[in-house]
Structures are given as structure tokens and as C-alpha cells.
Amino acid sequence: MKKACLVVGLALLSGCFLAPAMKMDEASAVDRGREKTRDEDFRIQDVTPALLARLAVEALPAPRLNDPLAAEAPSYEYRIAPFDVLLVTVWDHPELTTPTGQFRSPEENGVRVGGDGTMFYPHVGVIQVAGRTAAEVRKLLAERINRVIANPQLDVRVVSFRGKRMQVTGEVVQPTTVPITDVPLRVQDALAMARGFTPEADPASVTLSREGRTYRLNLQALYERGDLSQNWLLKDGDVVNVGDRSRNKVFVIGEVRAPQSRLMVKGRMTLAEALYETGGMEPNVADVSKIFVIRGDYAAPSVYRLDARSPDAVLLATQFQLSPRDVVFVSTYGLAQWNRVISQILPTVQSLWMLYDLTYRASVSARTGTLQ
């Protein structure tokens, strides 16, 4: 009998180690944080109204970047580039205006700018036009043609913008190359020409690559708050890339009904939303006094703890804003873990007891000669 009790006791002890429950090692997290940060005050922070106020201040948008071309926008003028096509109109001289016939398109009747930035025009010869505005080229042509035609009336305009381009890539419906024209082109204009965002796009994660540097723009701020500082003026060679929202995830694990990762909607999600969208906490199993949010790297994570035993404390969860890659962990209630231990080892205990009972009956029968 004593041996059977010993076996049952060992089974119970082994069951404690095999209980299916995760545990937040608070002391280990604090020790790692203090070692990494060299801050002896590093600790797990309780979610309180004061903490929420401090986090709200820390989450304020970073100082916005100034558009380096903003000053040029009011007086913007397109400067001719190699490979553009110019149309020169000389009134009362159709042989100069439409040399290939009046039924041809303006582009066919135009003059192509060479790769070296020059163009040829009758009675003028070869002139340098790249880098000049249409008005400057018109003045130059008028001065040269005046030697042949008295007081010429002429106009110059670009009919095909081929020389300057920028690109739109990433999570847009139609990645495309957009020409830079005589109308100022901004980031939102370029995105519209690419037919807007895909469902997987993250408007808050748009990058602009220019001359070896990369700038981060938040188009979501433009759409939601009208922050025009995010709508930069574009120029030749720019690349606008729209990032995807795959990194805007939070992970909910522990004693919830459906542990999973959840995509944040427009980069926003509260702790309450994360718990609700995973089916809520497991009743009679979850320890509502130990709901953790783990943020940052493994060596020095920021750990926040919510004690939701009081119903009004749950309101704090509706105001606690999660960040991308946060881990939400709901601990297991101690008694629930013990119940799991019992449910795990109970079949083993029953089997051992039945084996002991049969063995005992058989030994008694052998000694007494009676059937037990």
C-alpha cells in the first residue's frame, strides 16, 4: 500500500512540471532589463492612469520633416530636359510651325531635344535648351529669328515630357513611372496615378528615396489630420515606396480562447481590442490580475502589467494603445493550473489503483484459497 501511495505522489509531482501553462518570469525580465540598461529602477510597470498619460506623451508624432522643395512650389517652373519634345509656333509662318503638315499631332510636328540638351531650329541652328524654361527658349528663338523675320510672334511649349520621371513602387495597385511635367507633382498626385493603395498597404509607412537619402512620410496623417507637410513636392529621379502592414501585428497568447497574431487597423489597436478579438480570456482559468504587455527586445523589454480584477480597471485596457510587435500575455490562475495537473494524471492514478487492487486481491486469494 505504501508503495502505491509513493507512486501516486511521484505522479502528482511530475504532473506539476508537465502542466500545460505558460508562466511570465517577472524576476528574470527585470534582471535582464537592469543588466542591459544599467538602470536599477528598471521594473515591470503597472497600468495606471498616470502611466497612460506618460505613454500618450511619448507617442506624440515626431517633429515633422520640412519639404526641402516647399519654397519652390509657389513659383514652380518646369525646366526642359533631354528627350523632351517642344512645339514652336510662329504665327503667319506655317512652314515653321507645322513642317510635316497641319494634320499631324503636336508631338509629330514638335522638335525633339537631343541627349546633349540641344535642339535644331530653322534659321536659328543648334541651341542649348536643356535646363531652361519654355519662356527662356522663346525669348532666345525670337532674338535669333528676328534676323530673318521682322518682329516674329512665336510661342514655345513642351508637348511631350520625356526627360524627367519618378517612380511609385510597393503596395500600390499599379506601380508605375510618372513623368515630371509643368504642373507641380506631389506625393499624393503620384499615388493617385498609381491607382491608390492595395488592401495590404500601410499609409503611415511611405518612404521617399532621393539622391541617396531616404525620408519617411506619414500619408495617414495627411488623410486623417490634413497634415500637408507630408505631401512633398517631387522631382526627377525620386522613388516613392509604399510599405505593407505585415509588421503592424500584435501577438496575443496565454489564457485566451484563440491565441493568435492580429493585424492592427491603420496602425492602431488597444489592449481591450486585442483581447476581445481573440475571443476574450478563458473563464475560470485566466488570472485577470496578471495581464502583461511585453514590448521591445528580449534583453530589455518594457513590460506592463494590468490588474483587471476590478471592472473599472478594464477601462484602462480600452485606453492602453499597443505598438507593432507587442506581445499580450494572459497568465494562468494558480488553482486552474493545479486542476490541469489533476486532469492530466488522473487516468494514470486510476490505472495504478486498479493494478494495485487487482494485485492485492490476487495475493489475498492465494493465501486464503478464496476468490476475492
> What is the domain-level CATH number for residue 258?
3.10.560.10
Using the Cα atoms of residue 25, residue 26, residue 31 and residue 37 in order, give the sign of their dihedral.
positive
- Sorted by sequence, the CB contacts under 8 Å of residue 5 that are 6+ apart come out as none
Instruction: Please indicate, yes or no, whether residues 278 and 323 belong to a single structural domain of this protein.
Output: yes
Residue 63: inside a domain, yes or no?
A: no
| Cα–Cα distance for residue pair 80/17, rounded to 1 Å | 76
Q: What is the pLDDT of residue 110?
A: 83
| Cα–Cα distance for residue pair 82/130, rounded to 1 Å | 6
Instruction: Please indicate, yes or no, whether residues 210 and 131 belong to a single structural domain of this protein.
Output: no
Residue 370: inside a domain, yes or no?
A: no
- Average pLDDT by stretches of 10, the chain with 372 residues: 48 47 74 82 89 87 80 91 92 68 67 93 90 94 86 89 96 96 95 95 94 93 89 96 92 91 90 91 85 88 90 88 93 60 58 67 68 56
Instruction: Please indicate, yes or no, whether residues 294 and 312 belong to a single structural domain of this protein.
Output: yes
Domain end: 181, 210, 244, which one? 244
Place of cell 480584477: 309
* CA–CA distances in Å: residue 5 to residues 11, 16, 168, 351, 353: 10, 17, 74, 13, 9
Domain that holds residue 320: 11-43+247-335
What's the structural domain count of the chain? 3
Domain end: 224, 244, 264, which one? 244
Residue 116: inside a domain, yes or no?
A: yes
Angle between helices 2-18 and 334-368 (to 10 degrees): 160
Q: What is the pLDDT of residue 2?
A: 47
Domain end: 107, 136, 155, which one? 155
Residue 98: inside a domain, yes or no?
A: yes
Instruction: Please indicate, yes or no, whether residues 211 and 282 belong to a single structural domain of this protein.
Output: no
Instruction: Please indicate, yes or no, whether residues 289 and 324 belong to a single structural domain of this protein.
Output: yes
The SS3 of residue 275 is helix
Instruction: Please indicate, yes or no, whether residues 184 and 233 belong to a single structural domain of this protein.
Output: yes
Instruction: Please indicate, yes or no, whether residues 151 and 83 belong to a single structural domain of this protein.
Output: yes
Using the Cα atoms of residue 360, residue 366, residue 368 and residue 372 in order, give the sign of their dihedral.
positive
**Contact predicate 159/85, CB 8 Å:** yes
Instruction: Please indicate, yes or no, whether residues 301 and 278 belong to a single structural domain of this protein.
Output: yes
Helix (H) or strand (E) run with residue 238 in it: none
Residue 72: inside a domain, yes or no?
A: no
| Cα–Cα distance for residue pair 129/113, rounded to 1 Å | 8
Residue 346: inside a domain, yes or no?
A: no
**Contact predicate 229/67, CB 8 Å:** yes
Instruction: Please indicate, yes or no, whether residues 252 and 324 belong to a single structural domain of this protein.
Output: yes
The SS3 of residue 221 is helix
CATH number of the domain bearing residue 91: 3.30.1950.10
**Contact predicate 46/305, CB 8 Å:** yes
Residue 354: inside a domain, yes or no?
A: no
Q: What is the pLDDT of residue 303?
A: 92
Q: How many helices (H) and strands (E) does the chain have?
A: 11, 16
Instruction: Please indicate, yes or no, whether residues 33 and 89 belong to a single structural domain of this protein.
Output: no
Q: How many CB atoms lie within 10 A of CB 170?
A: 20
| Cα–Cα distance for residue pair 372/369, rounded to 1 Å | 9
Q: What is the pLDDT of residue 54?
A: 92
* CA–CA distances in Å: residue 123 to residues 140, 145, 352: 12, 6, 112
Place of cell 495581464: 291
Instruction: Please indicate, yes or no, whether residues 151 and 116 belong to a single structural domain of this protein.
Output: yes
The SS3 of residue 170 is strand
Residue 324: inside a domain, yes or no?
A: yes
The SS3 of residue 282 is coil
Instruction: Please indicate, yes or no, whether residues 169 and 232 belong to a single structural domain of this protein.
Output: yes
| Cα–Cα distance for residue pair 234/70, rounded to 1 Å | 10
Phi and psi, residue 154, nearest 5°:
-140, 165
| Cα–Cα distance for residue pair 268/26, rounded to 1 Å | 27
